[in-house]
Amino acid sequence: MVTYRCSIGSSRSLDYPALLKLKTPTWTQEQLKEAIDAVVTQKMRFTQASARYGIPKGTLYDNILGKSKRMAVLEEAGLTLAEEAAVLEFCCDVSVSPYNRRTKKSLHAVLNFVEKLRRARDPEFMFTGLSGFRWWWAFCKKHSIVSLYYDNNGVPNSGGSPQRYLLN
């Protein structure tokens, strides 16, 4: 045991072997993969997946969104201000209800919409891997959107043509 003095005069003991022990996760890699899949496919929210699989929410966030610069993905998608406004209109009908920041659109529908919108300028544009989910998470954060969509039937909603949402 090592004893040291705190600045306020109290004495504390440290057990260095206990500090050096690494905690073994209580979940398996398979459970982590299932939890990530459940969140990314909108079958569960982060909190639900965390509770269901016994994985800390921060661990899920780090594995899905990355550990830093989570908002940088917005720049990588390269939407113009008009395209961002079109996505907001598509998701939240802001022209009808300007302060509405709730959507029932699925991730699939939103990503299809954004891809169609961006392909008008860049025919090769496509979200790959987790990039679409990461972009949607950051977009929701930036615009204070609450996603009410919950995939209980697995049937995506296409949502229509992106051109009708562009404000001229």
Mean pLDDT over residues 94-108, rounded? Answer: 92
Do 42 and 63 lie in one domain? The reply is yes
Flag whether pLDDT at 146 surpasses 70. Answer: yes
Contact 118, 79 (CB under 8 A): yes
Kindly report the CATH number assigned to the domain that includes residue 38: 1.10.10
Do 92 and 154 lie in one domain? The reply is yes
**Gap between the Cα atoms of 70 and 147, Å rounded:** 18
**Gap between the Cα atoms of 109 and 96, Å rounded:** 20
Do 157 and 80 lie in one domain? The reply is yes
Do 113 and 54 lie in one domain? The reply is no
Write out the H or E segment, with its range, that includes residue 134. Answer: helix 131-143
- In tens, the pLDDT along 46-65 reads 999 999 999 999 999 999 99
Residue 57's domain comprises 30-68
What phi-psi label fits residue 94: left (phi over 0), alpha (psi between -120 and 50 degrees) or beta? Answer: alpha
Do 78 and 56 lie in one domain? The reply is no
- 3-state DSSP: the chain helix, strand, coil percent, rounded to 5? 50, 5, 45
Do 80 and 34 lie in one domain? The reply is no
- In tens, the pLDDT along 104-129 reads 999 999 999 999 999 999 999 999 98
Residue 22, in any domain of the structure: no
